[in-house]
Structure 1
Amino acid sequence: MKTPSLTTTPKYLDLAAGILRLIAAQGLKDGDVLPPEKRLASQFQVNHLTVRKALKNLEQRGLVHAVPSRGNYVGRRPRSRRRTNLVGVLFPDAESFFYDIITELESRMAHFGLAPVVCLSHGSPEREHRALEFFDAVGVCGLAAAPNASCAEAYRDLEIPAVFFDSRIAGVPIPYVITDDVEGTRHGVEHLLSLGHRAIAHIGAQGDETSQQRLAGFVAALKGAGCSVPAGFVRLKEYSRQWGYYAAEQLFGSSQRPTAVFCGNDTIASGVLRYLRARGIACPADVSVLGFSNSQLSADLELSSIDQPREVIAKAVWKNLQACMRGDPPELETKIMTSLVIRRSTSAAAR
């Protein structure tokens, strides 16, 4: 006789059922507020994470909804009919490229009596979800976002007129404005190749389409010139100065050193330059460094960089967002061309 297998229900699902019983016992109706999460945790003798998971499960089933900074409520989230003169802007960090874009967008919004509300996700899908909920709750009339692909479902369900910029999410029908990262990177690496560099490393980020496109352009340029990419010459993590410094430390601490480094953005490049100065490695006499973005930082550091024209990008984002807010069909894809700005950080490879 076969012994029946035992199954255990996850604790958060048991709690979800308990919250539904509590709603019924207290006679709570749609729109009524639930007890605070701390009280639920104490009442059901579970931790705060289990409460969060249970409420998330109930929200996905349309049985409760959260209102940022206010609490959790019974019933499906009401569709916001009130629209304000606020436009949501969402991007991952305060890197100068995004700051320049919001500055350009703000000046355009002002002509129409609109104002931006800015949220930073810091690369966290959870923060991005909360930001989208916040934008919906306050009733923004439009949204410009540099999205995280992990939030695809939330963007599919979004009822706010929206435009992506800097990156996109495949399969999500939201118009997007991007730069040609593959071609821009290819152009930059070909500049290094023309200077005689063959040992070229790449320090970049990972986890987003922009980073993937820049890596693809890097590899394509080297393969097109018949060059290989040595093991360890590609270092990927994040767009930060600290990562640029640490990755350079790894590269130049090995026996096989590059003569040039292509960086995924100017912020990474600034960390590389800081490392080179600290170790007495001359740039560009010993090592050439190339950035991406052509930010004010690159001008200050005399860094050669691939230019992303902020004004052109912001103009395209605003044009498409206006179309979405009017209910007119926007351009699904707008691709902006880049250009190479040569400064003092790149020169001929040392013989």
Structure 2
Amino acid sequence: MATIKDVAAHADVSVATVSHVINNTRYVTPELRQRVLAAMRELDYEPNLVARGLRSNRTNLIALVIPDITNPYFPELARGVQDVANQNDYVMILGNTDRDITQERRILHILSRQRVEGIILNPGGVTAEELLPIQAGGVHIVIFGHQIDHPAFDSVMIDDRQAARDIVTHLISRGHRRIAHLGSSRPNSGRLRYEGYVQALREHGLPVDPALVTEGPWTQRGGYNAMKTLLQRHPLPTAVFAANDLMAIGAMQSVQEAGLRIPDDVAVAGFDNIDQAACVSPSLTTVHQPKYDMGKKLAEILFCRLKKEEPREPQRIILPYTIEIRGST
């Protein structure tokens, strides 16, 4: 394998000149530059990027850390992050925590030791106090979601509480009075969506019945099982608001297996607007999150930090959402 000394000897220049050509650290005449580049090609020389990174404190690596790689919500967001990374000649590393706090801490520890320059994180359990030393060590962190609200960190989100209130209000406008909720207090967005559900009911003088609130994993199986529990209640709910689309799709399967019609017997609404929401039958009414735009905004903020561009104060950006009304309600 050729070394920088081999390139210098082949081009009949000094090692320092080769280094300046590779790193663009000093002016080199066009003639010498071409000789160096030709020597690199002829010897098939590849600069040691790791060593360059150690010297310049740059690795051109960022990381996206998500809680559930199987959730169709995240690929579109990840594409937005990666597109911005590509534009800046960076590589994106993907970490999946499975909503396991031990796994999340392990991934963050490894990423900080591997000298990634920035992390975009959807926290599942780590606290701001755990993240502050990582950022103080030079790894910029941008949060997506509501899990951590701390003035030291940039964050991007939608208003989960208001969006949940709006979609439950839609169900109420359809004449529903016994509206169930499938969700979980973890993650924090689950708590906010539950609060929006409660707010909509109370604004319309409807009781919050604990028997109509069930918790489960934010998965299709979780929604299926939670809905099975609800179908044992009497009288049955006439509508269901699920904390995400996977739970809603699982709930629809359970309703249909019970011989009930959607939306005639039970209306179902979800949250996220993953691609499958428009493909199930009937198509799913849901909250549309701008997933790709969120990924782009998260990455743009991170690269502003990496380039030390304005604004210097951390930003808290709330993106717009829409309610997609479809056949399930």
Normalising by the smaller structure, the TM-score range is 0.7 to 0.9
Question: Aligned-pair RMSD on alpha carbons?
Answer: 1.8
Matched pairs, number: 268
Q: 1:119 aligns with which of 95, 110, 114?
A: 95
Q: 1:226 aligns with which of 166, 182, 205?
A: 205
Q: Which residue of 2 aligns with 1:236?
A: 215
Q: Do 1:266 and 1:295's aligned partners in 2 also have CA atoms closer than 8 Å?
A: yes
Shift of the alpha carbon at 1:119? 0.7
CA contact (8 A) 1:80 1:136 kept: no
Helix, strand or coil for the counterpart of 2:119?
Answer: strand
The 1:157–1:285 alpha-carbon spacing in structure 2 relative to 1, beyond 3 Å, is same
In 1, are the aligned partners of 2:179 and 2:237 still within 8 Å (CA)? yes
Q: Is residue 277 from structure 1 mapped to residue 252 from structure 2 by the alignment?
A: no
Counterpart mapping for 1:170-249 below 5 A:
170-171=149-150, 173-249=152-228
Partner of 2:325: 342
Q: Is the 8 A contact 2:117 2:306 kept in 1?
A: yes
State the 1:82 CA deviation.
4.0
The aligned amino acid for 2:109 is E
Looking at structure 1, the residues matched to 145 and 73 of structure 2 have their Cα atoms a distance apart, in angstroms, of 10
Alpha-carbon separation, structure 2, partners of 1:149 and 1:224: 32
Residue from 246, 250, 263 that aligns with 2:242: 263
How far apart are the structure 2 equivalents of 1:147 and 1:98? 14
SS in 1 for 2:221: helix
CA distance in structure 2 between the partners assigned to 1:333 and 1:339 by the alignment:
20
Q: How many Å apart are 1:154 and its aligned residue?
A: 2.0
Q: Which moved more, 1:140-149 or 1:285-294?
A: 140-149
For residues 180-219 of structure 1, the C-alpha deviation after alignment (integer angstroms, 9 at most, x for no partner) is 1111111101110000001000001222221111011100
Q: Distance in 1 between matches of 2:55 and 2:276?
A: 41
1:44-88: CA deviation from partner (whole Å, max 9, x where unpaired): xxxxxxxxxxxxxxxxxxxxxxxxxxxxxxxxxxx9984311111
Amino acid at match of 1:342: I
Cα shift at 1:231: 2.4
Q: Is the 8 A contact 1:320 1:330 kept in 2?
A: no
C-alpha contact 1:283 1:289 (8 A) present in aligned 2: yes
* TM-score of the superposed pair, with normalisation by structure 2: 0.78
Relative contact order (alpha carbons < 8 A, sep ≥ 6): 1 or 2 greater?
2
Contact 2:60 2:91 in 1 (8 A): yes
| Unpaired runs of at least 5, structure 2 | 1-53
Q: Of 41, 47, 67, which aligns to 1:92?
A: 67
1:298 corresponds to: 277
Q: Residues 80 and 139 of structure 1 are in contact (CA less than 8 Å); yes or no, is this contact kept in structure 2?
A: no
**3-state SS of paired residue (1:256):** coil
Amino acid at match of 2:102: E
Of the candidates 129, 154, 157, which is equivalent to residue 153 of structure 1?
A: 129
Distance 1:143 1:270 in 2: 31
Identity among equivalent pairs (%): 27
After TM superposition, the score normalised by the length of structure 1 is 0.73
